Structure 1
Amino acid sequence: MLDANTQATRPDFAADNHPKVARGKTGILLANLGTPDDYSYWPMRRYLNEFLSDERVIDLPRWKWQPLLQLIILTKRPFSSGAAYKSIWNHDKGESPLMTITKDQTAKFKTAMHTRYGDQVMVDFCMRYGNPSTQSKVREMVAAGCERILFFPLYPQYAGATSGTANDHFFRALMQETWQPAARTIEPYFDQPAYIDALAASVQAGYDAMTDKPDILVVSYHGMPKRYLMQGDPYHCQCQKTTRLLQEKLGWDKTQLITTFQSRFGTEEWLQPYTVEEVARLAQTGKKNIAVIAPAFSADCIETLEEINEEIKESFEEAGGEKFTYIPCLNNDDAHIAALVQVAQENLAGWLD
């Protein structure tokens, strides 16, 4: 991290007693979903409270939702969610896999950007929920002299409940700054060739490592209520296009893969087909060997390591499935980092040459 005082100078023509100000840099702030600080009850409760109080995630009226959340859900759910996190926790580093992977991604991304732009850029990461907070990292960048900040939510497909709420939080952080930097947010990169290439390469590598090739690839995206689609959220359409482009890049026909949606919450209808039900149906109709990939996640997390690799796998096997292979997220794979760097460079046009 850059020291806020590294290049602090007194503005031209300023009085001798004017405070020195660090200026002239461009910040690139990567943003991911977030993670609890620990899987014990109170850290889990704080994290879930922040997450489930986000009106982009749960858009029920607060007078109706908050009593239910505070008095019932947050009394019980930290125990079950904590147990799920414990099953995947990086105990050696004392953090969730999402935190470990995001740190690794940021380190590689930072090296690539500094190779290209040198000390003109400052690279860091934040989380929408939990730590490090968006506001703390915006504050550090401004103090270090960032006159411009490119905010980069690590979601290939745009959804209001992911990219949208991350952007909201970034703008709220800017509201706290006396001297606001110029700001940009990235465009969704769900159809960027470098991203599709990296995704296809990961599938091909996964298949090449298997003796018996899967009967079908399940392309599972995180879910959302169907009414969000009807209200104009582009997420569903962008997911479908990602799958189509992946299919074309692999040179497959439409029967070799299927798009599904996971992580359903509540009782209303969500985007379908539901992954947990679809894998059971596939097993019952003779697809005994399947692979699953999750392109909406830039890093493996609770939804992939626990939900897909445990709950969804169990649904498949209980329905008669025999072989279940989860193909990991792109994580800190070099091709993935190169794709992210390319997206950043395109969005920095006019700021940095």
Structure 2
Amino acid sequence: MSQQPPQPSTGPGRQPRRVAVVLFNLGGPDAPEAVRPFLFNLFADPAIIRLPNPFRFLIASLISGRRAKPATAIYAQIGGKSPLLENTQAQAAALEARLAADREADPAGGGAEARVFIAMRYWHPMSAETAAQVKAYDPDLVVLLPLYPQFSTTTTASSAKAWDEAAQTVGLAAPTRLLCCYPTQPGFIDAAADQIRPLYEAAKAHGTPRVLFSAHGLPKKVVAAGDPYQWQCERTAESIAAALGVDQLDWVSCYQSRVGPMEWIGPSTDAEIRRAGQDGVPILVVPMAFVSEHSETLVEIEIEYRHLAKEAGVPHFTRVPTVGVHPGFIDGLARLVRQTVANKAPICAQNGDRICPANFSGCPQARR
């Protein structure tokens, strides 16, 4: 992630009057013809294909050309486009309403006015257009809030770098603070557990359920280079499992969406589905690293993994919805925003400081 230049202070003891909250997300194609350029933007990202240009450009062109047709077929199963933008807009509206309600409930507390914006990484609205909107809002402080609970150099760091470049391009000079991660934030964890409980009870009619906490995978070499994503995902799974309060809960942390010939972190979700079939146990697949629905949840889990489970002899399959606009999750995001506003550090995690062990050089706070 790029090192931010020195930024103007809001003044000693002075609270910002206006705060711009920028939600980071990956984005997704909004029409069939957007699939190929979306894929090109994805694979042209140096955080994804870690090669210099022109090699990265050539590889991105090759992969996006080859994958455009099958990817278009995937999106055709959910209406021809990604629902991610609409889902993120709903989360932005819910968060802005919650922050406004908190300010109205405590006007003497001096809370700032807050407006929530969306910056997608690989499709519109991307950082350049959002940064211009934020500049027009003229905030005293910008809070960058990724909708990736677990930090990765491939997601949050890439989005933050793109934002830094866009902000400099449009001349946005307001102080900026990044909330880098919140893998065990209570609002997020409790919302996820709340989504699971009734579905777990229903699955018990088919045996003792096994809960698969599934996250998007990463190549092993990325994690070996110091990326804390897998460590944080494991903390998320542990926390949700504990929050469920089920004695001797059968659960496993696993990873989906593998592409390419490289060795990826595991165990893989599809391998765990096959193992559940061998064991004859019902399963619930929990998308623990996704907070809104998109192709990985609505197609890969709901359609492809459901079909695999049937083939593997799994007696009962359930896809647990993402936390979306669950009130507990939105409340958790609002708490994170208020905490980040109060914290003077340019980068902080869910507890206001670093949460990653020292050996993770990919942690953004390792550069502080």
TM-score using structure 2 length: 0.82
Partner of 2:97: 111
- The alignment partner of 1:306 has SS state of helix
User: Post-superposition, which runs of at least 4 consecutive aligned residues in structure 1 deviate over 4 A?
Assistant: none
Partner of 1:33: 26
Name the amino acid aligned to 1:54.
D
Partner of 1:67: 58
Name the amino acid aligned to 1:102.
T
Matched, 1:346 2:346: no
Identity of aligned residues (%): 29
Partner of 1:8: none
What is the Cα deviation at residue 253 of structure 1?
5.1
Matched, 1:96 2:86: no
Alignment partner for residue 262 of structure 1, among 256, 262, 266? 256
Alignment partner for residue 84 of structure 1, among 74, 78, 84? 74
Taking structure 1 as reference, are residues 179 and 265 closer, same or farther at Cα in structure 2, changes over 3 Å only?
closer
Partner of 1:45: 36
- The alignment partner of 2:342 has SS state of coil
Partner of 1:181: 174
Check conservation: 2:284, 2:320, Cα contact below 8 A. Answer: yes
What is the Cα deviation at residue 147 of structure 1?
2.6
- CA distance, structure 1, for counterparts of residue 331 and residue 209 of structure 2: 31
Question: Number of paired residues?
Answer: 321
Taking structure 1 as reference, are residues 255 and 25 closer, same or farther at Cα in structure 2, changes over 3 Å only?
closer
1:63-122 C-alpha deviation (Å, 9 max, x unpaired):
44433432x323231111111111113x7xxx5321221111111111111222367222
- The alignment partner of 2:70 has SS state of helix
Question: Structure 1: which 5+ runs fail to align?
Answer: 1-22
1:146-199 C-alpha deviation (Å, 9 max, x unpaired):
131101110111011111111111111111133511101103111112221111
Partner of 2:279: 285
Alignment partner for residue 141 of structure 1, among 134, 137, 157? 134
- CA distance, structure 1, for counterparts of residue 98 and residue 153 of structure 2: 29
Check conservation: 2:203, 2:283, Cα contact below 8 A. Answer: no
Partner of 1:235: 229
Name the amino acid aligned to 1:79.
K
Partner of 1:296: 289
Check conservation: 1:247, 1:253, Cα contact below 8 A. Answer: no
- The alignment partner of 2:64 has SS state of helix
What is the Cα deviation at residue 24 of structure 1?
5.2
- CA distance, structure 2, for counterparts of residue 178 and residue 65 of structure 1: 29
Name the amino acid aligned to 1:107.
A
What do you get for the CA RMSD once the two structures are aligned? 2.0
What is the Cα deviation at residue 209 of structure 1?
4.6
Name the amino acid aligned to 1:160.
T
- CA distance, structure 1, for counterparts of residue 64 and residue 222 of structure 2: 25
- The alignment partner of 1:232 has SS state of coil
Partner of 1:20: none
What is the Cα deviation at residue 255 of structure 1?
5.2
Partner of 1:217: 211
- The alignment partner of 2:21 has SS state of strand
Name the amino acid aligned to 1:53.
A
Taking structure 1 as reference, are residues 246 and 286 closer, same or farther at Cα in structure 2, changes over 3 Å only?
same
Partner of 1:55: 46
- The alignment partner of 1:156 has SS state of coil
TM-score using structure 1 length: 0.85
Please show how residues 188-227 of structure 1 align to structure 2 within 5 Å. 188-210=181-203, 212=205, 215-227=209-221
What is the Cα deviation at residue 293 of structure 1?
0.4
